[in-house]
Chains A and B, each alone.
Chain A
Amino acid sequence: MNSLKPDGLVQWTGIAAPFLRHDVLIDYIAPPIGGVHAHGSAVIPPAGVAANALDQGLRQAFPLDRYLADGSENPEFILNREPWRDASILLAGRNFGIGGTQTPAAARLLGDGMRAVIAPSFGPVFLDDCIQAGLLPVILGQEQVEAIAAAAMAVPRRELTIDLRRQTISRPDIGPIAFQMNPRLRRRFAGGLGDIEETASFQREAEAFRREHELRQPWIYRSTGEPR
């Protein structure tokens, strides 16, 4: 069904879940407290997360919404409902993923099966995270996002297609809506490239640059590593 390359994304078709809340914090998608410690020896409950949800919360996005205080699943939450449980596209509100530090929000969404997020705007840190992690961020006007969300609520199982080559979003009942993304990011998502893959081909230039840079600005190199 999906023309998904092993780790790239040229075209994606899937169920879209409407979650149009504005100003959703990156820390709300993935609460940072607890789980940040690499050894896992000290886990502090994330703010507001029910104890039972903690284990799940460290792996899933939106742990605060997914579970009730008693630890059971919140039946009201969109991603706990059919058919959105299987959604792979998130329709989000303005400033989605605002704020943020070193949190794995984009990775959590990918772990939940999301491949793309469509929103009117994104928090800058989260937008970078999406590009780093390989979660496709698509920016559309608010009215367009709302129109898609209305269609997704009306006929939830009808799938949405994101075509990176044509830069369009469509559904059988929604004509192609154009979006813009620069060629580099399209290449990056199509090839499933990360920073390291993208920059690796520039190693020779990087080394030459460094040699020349060190001649021009030696103080940047010589003043370090030599505590006085």
Chain B
Amino acid sequence: MKRRDFIKTTVGAGVGCGFVPMRSLFARQAAGMTMYDKIWDAHEISYLGGITSVLHVDRMMLPDSGPAAIKRLLDAGETIRNPELVWAVADHQVSTSPERYTDRSLNLGSVADDFPEMKEQLAAMGIQAFGIDDPEQGIQHVVGPETGLTLPGMLMVAGDSHTCTHGAVGCVSWGGETAQNVLLTGTVIRERARNLRVNYTGTLGPWVRGKDMILHTIGALGADAGNRCAVEYAGPLVRSLSVEGRMTICNLSIEMGAATGMVAPDDTTYEYVASREFAPRGELWDQALAYWRSLPTDDAAAFYRDETIDMTGVEPQVTWGISPEHVIGISERIPAPDDAPFEKRDAWRRALEYTRLTPGDTIADTPIDEVFIGSCAESRISDLRAAAEVVRGRRVAPNVLAWVIAGSQPVKRQAEAEGLDRIFRDAGFDWREPGCSKCYGSNGDLVAQGKRCVSNSNRNYVGRQGIDAITHLVSTPMAAAAAIAGRIVDVRRLMAGEIV
């Protein structure tokens, strides 16, 4: 039996709680290795048989929900393993109101802000904790790469499911880990995922970017295509993207059901990492760089699944339903449930009922109530620049509530230095403080009940942004264009002056 056949049949039969008896077929005897397997092996403390290993953790991000649990651990005098590898930042539960610095009660608390003595407790142990007064504060998946706390080759874990974002700098990162275990043992116990590669070919049309690439991919492959897979995004189109663009793609890996997502590091990555606050310098930098250059997947490596996505002719994407896989191009019509594969018809019917859309209508020109620009998907400086380019000299449509939330304090400062905040404010956007905000609403920022929101975030689930709120996922410039037009529109037509 050929190796690939063996892997396919075994994994297929042992779904979920994964039953693959001979891991060596994957990694140890393979002629070439994938980046994921290289990084996994470099962190393996103990191999437990099957596909399970105990792994060393290079970076742990503490969740900001549940500071009391962390405090109990510290107060109990438990020994924290490798505290210098742990960091925390306030994002999910902080207010995004400019008043939050003076009226602290607006914030729903965080590890870094809740207990005045706790921050010192953490600092004394070497745990970095960024609260709202710190210049680094922001959404954890923006802050990590931006500060250089995330570096290529690392194994990074956290509780938050969008931790896969960090893979854009060439590391392996996942969410869903409990803080208690990592703090007490410095390790995680996990099952190795299968390798899935998505190769992007073709060319990107005007105003088509990373967000459209990944939304189109999820639509084409399905929201469960990545189950138990580590996805490596590859191909010339990915190489041509900035690290920020790659982060958007990796961010939505979990929306494909993947264990993680990553892009092999290259000169673009090294250039991005080099200037960061916590990145190595001097001799350490040279040593690190030599190691990082050994990380990319070998030519001879075998993938469990290899997919090619041709982006030529793909339009700006927009979701019409309640799963990121419910996605179409901006000039397409809303599909009918009967167009769906048999097993998805019910889901499509429920989706259309929730989003109050009619099959056969164009998705363009759907009137909207709110626009949200922010989130760990696309709130970095290049995203805000793209939005500002659309907004410059225009006005937000009456009756539309439009917010822009920079992903971090450094992004916000940079945007203000470039005058982007003025462009947004002059157009009628609210320019607010960094945090997760309306993408998830756990700080109280919610889309009003039953309202329709165009959002550059990553999830359009039922109730995700608020009670009965309808979410249309789009790229940042598409969200900006919707705010101007007061309805879902094609940003290309707006910029060409075909829409006023």
Contact = CB atoms under 8 A, between A and B. Distances in A.
A199 B446 contact: no
Interface in B1-25: 13-19
A199 B228 contact: no
Interface residues of B, number: 90
Given A44-B444, A180-B17, A224-B126, A206 B63 contact: no
A2 interface: no
B463 A219 contact: no
Nearest to B134: A227
Contact of B17 (A39, A181, A199): A181
B108 A42 contact: yes
A202 B175 CA distance: 22
A189 B464 CA distance: 32
B85 interface: yes
Contact of A224 (B84, B180, B184, B346): B84
A195 interface: yes
Given A47-B462, A102-B159, A199-B187, A125 B178 contact: no
B265 interface: no
A219 B259 CA distance: 26
B141 to A, nearest CB: 12
B335 to A, nearest CB: 17
B291 interface: yes
Contacts of B185: 195-196, 199-200, 202-203, 206
B189 A198 contact: yes
A142 B285 CA distance: 52
A101 B45 CA distance: 27
Contacts of A25: 461-462
Which of B14, B45, B82, B153 has most A Cβ within 10 Å? B45
Given A37-B108, A42-B108, A220 B50 contact: no
Contact of A124 (B128, B259, B278, B287): B259
A228 B277 contact: yes
B428 interface: no
A125 B126 contact: no
B176 A99 contact: no
Interface string B145-178: 0001101011000011100000000000001101
A191 B159 CA distance: 25
Nearest to A188: B189
B223 interface: yes
Contact of B109 (A27, A39, A218, A225): A39
5 contacts: A27-B462, A196-B180, A199-B54, A206-B187, A228-B277
